[in-house]
Structure 1
Amino acid sequence: MKFRAFTALAVAAAMAVPAAAETRVTYKSAKSSSSYYQMAVQIAEAMQEASDGEISVTVEESQGSVQNVMEVRARGGDYVFTTPPVLVSLAQGGKAMFEGKGDPAFDDIRALFPIPSLTMHFVMSEESGAKTFDDLKGKTILLGKGSFGAKEGEKYLELFGVQDEVNIADVELSNAVPAMQNGQIDGFVTAGSWPAPNVVEAAASTGVHVLSLTDEQIAETKRAKLVIPAGTYAGQDEDIVTTSLPVVAFTTTKMDDDTAYQLTKTYWEQKASMAEAAKWWGGVDEALMENITGQIHPGAVRYYEEAGFTLTDDQK
């Protein structure tokens, strides 16, 4: 996918970066078929244009967030990667999937900026009549297999007491919309940046209702609350209150302050332009900074303080 060029910061960035040498950055995101890979391409092109070619960002495909964190052990100061902040905390504590795999390099991980969160969607056909989780009883739901959305969806069905009364469809998530159109399923669960392409398609073609969670249900999930504004999807007259897993771009203390500063500055100042090419950037604002639970790179802190962002003591 080819995204539009961004030139607004070309002069300023060129002045901020030494002309004598090109700075190369590797940005490791997700699978090439995912929206997060496309986001990485947008960021790379914005950085290239804003620095007048002085900073070159190469996007690398990844098999997942855990792999991204693990590679910190062998990477240098040019490494940027995306992952949920909770995985950084687990790595630094040697817990869960990082048990027995601890490394001092994990303590050097620092945040740069938040990117669109993994947002939960429980998408029900209008024909199903389902408006709440209790209404899922007796319905056929597609969860998918192995993804964050599938695991999270299964967890919610259990938390809200309907797991044993829901029929789980054996269909790939990529076939969710056709399966809903032909009546094979009543709904599906998906997680990703919003607006989600498969939800857009389902809402436009068959009519859907995306379930909202109560504050009590959100508390049970132990996830961050997220509101998808009314009008995001066809036929959606009210806000959708759901949950999300924050995702952040990280680097390490090996990255020099000037590069971290320029990456962060370009990201925020080009975000509106990137949103013209992909709507998922519209969900990113200063409020997402609270999702950064660890330390921010000193170079990025310099930008945030110049731009008037409010940072916590733990982030500095």
Structure 2
Amino acid sequence: MKILRTIGAIATGIIAFSSVTAAQAETRVTLKSAKAASSYYQMAAQFAEAMKTGTDGNIIVTVEESQGSVQNVMEASVRPGNYVFTSPPALIGLAQAGKGAFEGRPTEKFNEIRALFPIPSLTMHFVMRADAGVTDFAGLAGKTILLGKGSFGAKEGEKYLGLFGLTDTVKLAEAELSNAVAALKNGQIDGFVTAGSWPAPNVIEAAAGTDVTVLSLSDDELAKTKRDLTVIPAGTYNGQDSDIRTSSLSVVAYATTQMDDETAYQLTKTYWDQKSKMGANAAWWKGVTQDMLVNIKGKIHPGALRFYAESGFPVGDDQR
């Protein structure tokens, strides 16, 4: 009996040790994303599931709702450990320079921010009824356009009208963007402006029931916007026979130097390994390519750099 009790104790100890070892092997990551109703929150949830699947449960990502990128970056200065967040690269530059919303705040912690990988960009779409006969921005003069209110797309669209000398010639519809597709189909408006990852659901809906034209920007127009170039391939939307060259606001997943190199490596490797599977369920992941690394301004985490070196991804000297 004494021998049996001893064997039982040893077995219990082995099980307990195995449980501790498994717990120690599991890496937990917090991902600060966006508002719960946004597409970027959905992306975060998809990313979390991809990490769990791709690492056999060794990396567990907990998604937190955020009120926006400024909050995400602010928290980077105080959150410990494996904190990952999403933000446009330009906002990181402002934080590290102590400008804009970050004026007067210590920059030391912001200087510890490091990039991991790009995620789908906020891509501008100028969607016009085909029978409006508009094929370029000059053709918007005299047309009725719905911009919506308060969103990035609305603000960006209004900015572009000013940049291209159209502010006084375009009629703006007083309606919410949620009404854009219906208003386009029944002829109340000639077009609408929306921003989001592509393919955009409201553009898909509009193109499914109406012949539409999504405008491309010339090189000169793109330069005036001071945004990044995004090319939406032909065939993305119904009736789209050629590529759409438009502007976008890049969005990147970041960590800080508090994340160890191995965790950053595994996050980055698994992200790229799982991206095609994520794209099978949500088309917006298909728009992310290794060429988008060029839009990352500032330093990339050493763990991520290790993966990019192994995979031959293009990385600039100023990003190392």
Deviation at 1:18, TM superposition (A): 7.3
Shift of residue 101, structure 1, vs aligned partner? 2.8
Q: Distance in 2 between matches of 1:271 and 1:50?
A: 10
Paired residue type of 2:155: K
Q: 247, 252, 273: which one pairs with 2:251?
A: 247
Partner of 1:82: 86
| Structure 1 residues 77-156: aligned runs within 5 Å | 77-156=81-160
Alignment equivalent of 2:46, drawn from 42, 48, 51: 42
- What is residue 55 of structure 1 aligned with on the other side? 59
**Aligned position for 1:170:** 174
Equivalent in the alignment of 2:270: 266
Rounded Cα–Cα distance in structure 1 between residues aligned with 2:130 and 2:72: 39
Give TM-score, length-normalised by structure 2: 0.91
Q: 1:184 aligns with which of 185, 188, 192?
A: 188
SS in 2 for 1:170: coil
- Give the corresponding residue for 1:297: 301
After superposition, the C-alpha distances for 1:177-236 in whole angstroms (9 at most, x for unaligned) are 112122221111111111100000001112210011111111111111111111110011
Quote the offset at 1:19 in angstroms: 6.2
The percent of aligned pairs where both chains have the same amino acid is 67
Q: Shift of residue 122 of structure 1?
A: 0.4
* Residues 1:20 and 2:17 aligned together: no
Alpha-carbon distance in structure 2 between the residues aligned to 1:194 and 1:54? 31
How far has the Cα of 1:310 moved from its partner?
2.6
Q: For residues 51 and 83 of structure 2, what CA distance do their matches in structure 1 show?
A: 15
Task: Say how many residue pairs are matched.
Answer: 300
The Cα of 1:138 is off from its aligned counterpart by: 1.4
Runs of 5+ unmatched residues, structure 1: 1-16
2:71 corresponds to: 67
Pairwise CA distance, 1:29: 1.3
Letter in 2 for 1:211: L
- Deviation at residue 63 of structure 1 after TM alignment: 1.3
Equivalent residue number for residue 36 of structure 2: 32
Distance 2:25 2:241 in 1: 53
One-letter amino acid of the structure 2 residue matched with residue 207 of structure 1: D
Q: Return the alpha-carbon distance in structure 2 between the equivalents of residues 31 and 177 of structure 1.
A: 23
What's the counterpart of residue 4 of structure 2?
Answer: none
Match of 1:307 among 289, 311, 320: 311
Q: Deviations over 1:58-109 (max 9, x none)?
A: 1111111111111112211121000000000011001122222343210000
Distance 1:166 1:116, change over 3 A: same
Cα RMSD, aligned residues only: 1.4
Task: Give a deviation string over 1:31-75, Cα, whole Å, max 9, x none.
Answer: 122221111111100111222222110111111111111111221
Higher Cα Rg: structure 1 or 2?
A: 2
Paired AA for residue 288 in structure 2? V
Task: Please give the alpha-carbon distance, in whole angstroms, between the structure 2 residues aligned to 1:140 and 1:310.
Answer: 43
Paired position in structure 2 for 1:282: 286
Q: Distance in 1 between matches of 2:273 and 2:22?
A: 21
**What amino acid sits opposite 2:317 in the alignment?**
D
- Residue 237 (1) aligns with residue 241 (2): yes
Partners of 2:143 and 2:32 in 1: CA distance: 39
TM-score w.r.t. length of structure 1: 0.92
Mapped to 2, the partners of 1:271 and 1:51 lie a distance apart of 14
CA contact (8 A) 2:97 2:107 kept: no
- What is the Cα deviation at residue 20 of structure 1? 2.9
1:218 corresponds to: 222
| Alignment-mate amino acid for residue 229 of structure 1 | P
